[in-house]
Structure 1
Amino acid sequence: MDSELKNILRDHLLKNHSADELRRWYDPLRLTMNSEQTELSVVFPHAFFSQWFAGSHQERFEQELHAFFAAPVRLRYGTNGSSAKAAQTPAAGEDDVRTLDYPFGREFAFSSFVQNNKNAFPIISAREVAKQTDPTFNPFIVCGPSGSGKTHLLKAMANELARNHGRENVFFGSVEDLLHLYEGECGGDAMKARAQVCGYTFLLVDDLHLLKGHRDFQSEILTLFDSFYDARKQMVFGCLGNLPSYDFLDPKLKSRLEWGLIVTLAEPDLEVRIACVERFCRQKQLGLSRERQLTVAQRFTDLRFLQGVLLKLYAYKEFVSTEFSDSDFDRIIAQSDDGARGDVDPQTILDVVAAFYGLSLGDLKGARRHHNIVRARQVAMYLSRDILQTSYPALGRQFGGRDHSTALYAVKKVRTLMAEDVHFKDQVETLRKRCLADD
């Protein structure tokens, strides 16, 4: 039974890990499930392997186990020659048994937060705060632009704190959730709501910028802050933008918030977005080519919206067709709007440019090389690239099946002309505004 479980779990892990990876860190493990199917023992070959595993693979392994069992399971670790003892973290006590549970969402874990060096300090800081028993950085504040992963990071901290200290000791919610607790669940009884919140050991509040619309509630946040701080209980806040720019905050509350450690998440760059797309495609077995992965990652800069676009592509694969034609893919992407481009799609840009230059769509997509037609075609390619972030191979396809190098040359040519000719630059900017307004 134990070998059968290990083989089945190995097949599950292969969805997100290579066979070579599993040979290094998974195959040496010995797994034993109790008869009630409620507790899994993991035995390491020796103590050094245990230490290496804890630092390199334990967190992701536990996340995968939770997904595999789809229910809370207790986990015990041990080494050969000793009985498996309760899984430990630096914050756990000697007699603790770790439960594989993610009460704030299985997808929210440190291991699933895609990062590069730009966000190394915020992630490392969040991990340290989540495992400390005596709060050193209190409050801990995560700032950043929309879609940078603030909520993911706060929920990852909440999950880690819940697993180490118990779900009942962790409050996670937005400012709006707190207001609902005060005005809804507690019927406006501030003392009752305050006592309930102060009963938690950890307070994590997201979307602090919403206090701008609830200035009267700031005094209550200040009271909660003082209560948690005096009791040496950890507080974590999420802020859109930068906390120092919050001129709407009560000076006393703002001063207290600035006591703590403030970290800022950088806007996800192309490297991070590509990694997110690759991971989604691997997990969902969404067979997007490298070119299509790059197209999606280049066009959609907000991680939340990027996730939504990928889900739309996944739904098409599951419910409509297992294969994407070029036209299917381009249509789905064009219909996806990230909130920054209005309802612009490739056809809108073609129509606007054709009308401006007095040409037909056939002229823009055709083979004619008249100077006026070539210039209009190049401008249309430039606008498609600038507004929609269309990849160069996709641009080539949209304009009569041309090579990607032709599209690349066109975009560079327009940029050069705009730098040299103010009149031409104004002309292109006028067309850009027409495209964005034409909905």
Structure 2
Amino acid sequence: MSDDDHLPAGSLSSEYRQEWERARERMRIEVGDQKYETWFSALELLRREGSLLYLTMPTKFLRNWMNQHYLELIRARIAAEFKGVDKVIIEVRTPNPKTKAAQAAAPGLRSAAPSFKPMPSLALATAGEAVGETALAYQRRVCSPKIGTRTEADGFVGSPLDRRLTFATFKVGKSNDFAFAAARRAAEQCAQGAAPLFNPLYVHASVGLGKTHLLQAMARQVGDGRRRVLYLTAERFMSNFGNALRDQTAYALKEDLRSIDMLVVDDLQFLQGKTLRAEFSHLVNALIDSGRQIVVAADRPPAQLESLDERASSRFKGGLCVEIGPLDEELRQQVLETRIAAAKEQHDAFVVPRDVVVYVAKIITSNGRDLDGAVSRLLAHSSLNGAPICVSTAEQAIRDLVNTHEPKRVKIDDIQKLVASHYNVSRADIVSSRRTANVVLPRQVAMYLSKALTPRSLPEIGRRFGGRDHTTVIHAVRKIENLIAKDNGLAQVVELLKRMLNEQ
């Protein structure tokens, strides 16, 4: 065993760092970009002791999750890259003592919440539109300084934009041509300083069909026209508005927001909390009444969106509501050809025959993200195996993407078990009549998730929680909504639990 075998990750030899990066890339290819970014991106290399490799995760809960669901996969990928390593142990990461000391010495560092600052221009680099990147290369790049953001001292300016997502790179077909035309016209009007033609513009579609692409293309064009535009995800809106309410800076924040020319909000279905919903509704009304453009995207029509109050829902119904339908086979082929051409610019030897493109477009019918995943898998097979790609190879490479996207059926039993595990109580405690503080919050969180993630009625949810009345469930749901609006930590926990339940 070499001297490097007991060094912390930051001091590992270049050989070990390269092995670790190769192992991580293998994991990414195995699970796909989305799952990798959700679970594996927080996994870090700690040290090696002979045939034993130590990894870390930031929390005990995440450590237990990885051990339960992905330990065998991790061990196999580590063994393939680290010679002589046959066992992996995941520990909980210990905070850096210097960081803790700095936080203790300066307890007021978080006292001032960042405000929303509209951008005179998005100031996005136009050279090398990044359309030549593969999905994997983009994921690596996007972890570096974000596009469209500024330093903390300059204030909060919204969620990052992807340089690739422009109107020029959007593939138009029968399923999205109307939405594309409406988005482009609205962006042109705003960029020219004209009064909004469609206001608000509401775009809805299932996951991976191009909502985010259209919204970011609009934000980019308006910003390039020197107009003030703010692109936000619902999560970013909740986080920053929640902090402003907590720190009593909400008035200044709302004044900042009302000075913009276009507000673009993505994934509105994730907006939670009675107070935040009300504030969002007030903001929408104020901006529309002052002639500012509002653009919103969600996964369902406004009438089906529980995250909207009646006033906001009425506003969106009164604007232009457009739907992006499933990609037809011809459009899926166009998307594949574009992704393959972009990958080929980075990897000259990557060649996908026409019959393979036709096969993949025919077999993968779910969404554009799965088409990205298919190209990544084909690229991996081509570069790692060095063999020509044929239909047989493609069939093997993408088999995990076929028929894997049926609607997730989350069970109340699964919710109760996961919540109990997270809060270190038993499932029996959650359904019992106990009312101690360490049981009441997990029970209310579990009821809230049952209402949000299952089709069960309120009386049925009450019965599954120890025969409680439906009014108890309503109280629990409202209680958690209010807490989420005030407590960003709880909001993050609830969102993490949702993702875990949908991954099981």
Q: Which residue of 2 aligns with 1:305?
A: 370
SS in 1 for 2:236: helix
Task: Kindly indicate whether the alpha-carbon contact (under 8 Å) linking 2:287 and 2:293 is maintained by their aligned counterparts in 1.
Answer: yes
- Larger relative contact order, structure 1 or 2 (CA cutoff 8 Å, min sep 6): 2
Cα distance change, pair 341–118 in 1 and its aligned pair in 2 (3 A): closer
With structure 2 as the length reference, what TM-score do the two structures score? Answer: 0.45
Q: Which residue of 1 aligns with 2:262?
A: 202
Determine which of 238, 247, 267 is the counterpart of 1:179: 238
Q: Which residue of 2 aligns with 1:290?
A: 354
Task: Kindly indicate whether the alpha-carbon contact (under 8 Å) linking 2:205 and 2:300 is maintained by their aligned counterparts in 1.
Answer: yes
User: Equivalent pairs: percent with the same residue?
Assistant: 25
After superposition, where does 1:35-46 map in structure 2 within 5 Å? none
- Rounded Cα–Cα distance in structure 1 between residues aligned with 2:186 and 2:389: 44
- Rounded Cα–Cα distance in structure 1 between residues aligned with 2:245 and 2:221: 28
- Rounded Cα–Cα distance in structure 1 between residues aligned with 2:126 and 2:374: 24
Report how far residue 142 of structure 1 moved. Answer: 0.9
After superposition, where does 1:93-172 map in structure 2 within 5 Å? 104-132=161-189, 133=193, 134-165=195-226, 169-172=228-231
**Residue correspondences, number:** 248
SS in 2 for 1:112: coil
Task: Kindly indicate whether the alpha-carbon contact (under 8 Å) linking 2:360 and 2:394 is maintained by their aligned counterparts in 1.
Answer: no
Deviations 1:257-277 (A, max 9, x none): 222111111111111111111
After superposition, where does 1:315-326 map in structure 2 within 5 Å? 315-321=380-386, 323-324=388-389
Please identify, of 174-183 and 195-204, the stretch whose mean Cα deviation from structure 2 is larger. 195-204
Report how far residue 143 of structure 1 moved. Answer: 1.5
Task: Kindly indicate whether the alpha-carbon contact (under 8 Å) linking 2:355 and 2:391 is maintained by their aligned counterparts in 1.
Answer: no
- Rounded Cα–Cα distance in structure 1 between residues aligned with 2:211 and 2:132: 28
Q: Which residue of 1 aligns with 2:434?
A: none
Q: Which residue of 1 aligns with 2:293?
A: 234
In structure 1, runs of 5+ residues without a counterpart are 1-61, 71-102, 343-438
- Rounded Cα–Cα distance in structure 2 between residues aligned with 1:115 and 1:69: 19
Q: Which residue of 2 aligns with 1:340?
A: 405
Task: Kindly indicate whether the alpha-carbon contact (under 8 Å) linking 2:233 and 2:267 is maintained by their aligned counterparts in 1.
Answer: yes
Task: Kindly indicate whether the alpha-carbon contact (under 8 Å) linking 2:131 and 2:342 is maintained by their aligned counterparts in 1.
Answer: no
Larger radius of gyration: 1
Q: Which residue of 1 aligns with 2:379?
A: 314
Q: Which residue of 1 aligns with 2:273?
A: 214
**Aligned AA for 1:111?**
A
- Rounded Cα–Cα distance in structure 2 between residues aligned with 1:324 and 1:306: 16
- Rounded Cα–Cα distance in structure 2 between residues aligned with 1:197 and 1:65: 31
With structure 1 as the length reference, what TM-score do the two structures score? Answer: 0.51
SS in 1 for 2:398: helix
In structure 2, runs of 5+ residues without a counterpart are 1-124, 134-159, 345-349, 408-503
- Rounded Cα–Cα distance in structure 1 between residues aligned with 2:211 and 2:243: 26
Deviations 1:139-182 (A, max 9, x none): 1111122222111111111111111125xx21111111101222
RMSD (Å), alpha carbons: 3.1
SS in 2 for 1:165: coil
**Aligned AA for 1:321?**
G
- Rounded Cα–Cα distance in structure 2 between residues aligned with 1:68 and 1:245: 35
Report how far residue 240 of structure 1 moved. Answer: 0.9
SS in 2 for 1:203: strand
**Aligned AA for 1:174?**
T
Please identify, of 155-164 and 285-294, the stretch whose mean Cα deviation from structure 2 is larger. 285-294
SS in 1 for 2:225: helix
**Aligned AA for 1:283?**
A
SS in 2 for 1:296: helix
- Rounded Cα–Cα distance in structure 2 between residues aligned with 1:321 and 1:196: 55
Please identify, of 186-195 and 138-147, the stretch whose mean Cα deviation from structure 2 is larger. 186-195
